Amino acid sequence: MKIALACDHGGLNLKYEIIKELKAQGHEVVDFGTNSTDSCDYPDFALPAAEAVASGKCEKGIVVCSTGIGVSIVANKVPGVRCAHCHDSYCAEFTRLHNDANVLALGEKVIGVGYALKIVNTFLNTEFEGGRHQRRVDKITEIEKKYCK
């Protein structure tokens, strides 16, 4: 799977751990930065990662900052992105099953590396159920069309 990754300075260490895990599993990683601990602005990195997912260049995306909140807000501004900010594997599983989320947001300062990698693996290995959930995802798409002109 081709996966977009991005972070700001607050998510750099976790991003590097995620990249190691994904590459060890044979995934292709497209790293949108940052690659420094110097203070930077998370929209500059989360946006191109989200755009790569929305355009189909990447199948899924993972964005990281200190809390995961800022990068999730940015990613969700891109039409076609359904970014879920997850702190546990249950939410990662059900956002895939029910919401067909295509971008995962994590916070380096609020979750340990080991559990973050479990969340990543759950997110990437859970398929969308479709069925009645497709109707809800379609409604989300209609909301995007209404407001993103």
Q: Catalytic amino acids?
A: 65, 98
Q: Residue 141 to residues 52, 72, 75, 114, 147: CA-CA distances in angstroms?
A: 18, 17, 15, 34, 10
CA 18 to chain CA mean position, Å: 12
Q: Report whether the peptide linkage leading into residue 34 is cis, meaning its omega lies within 30 degrees of zero.
A: yes
Q: How far is it, in rounded angstroms, from Cα 72 to Cα 50?
A: 10
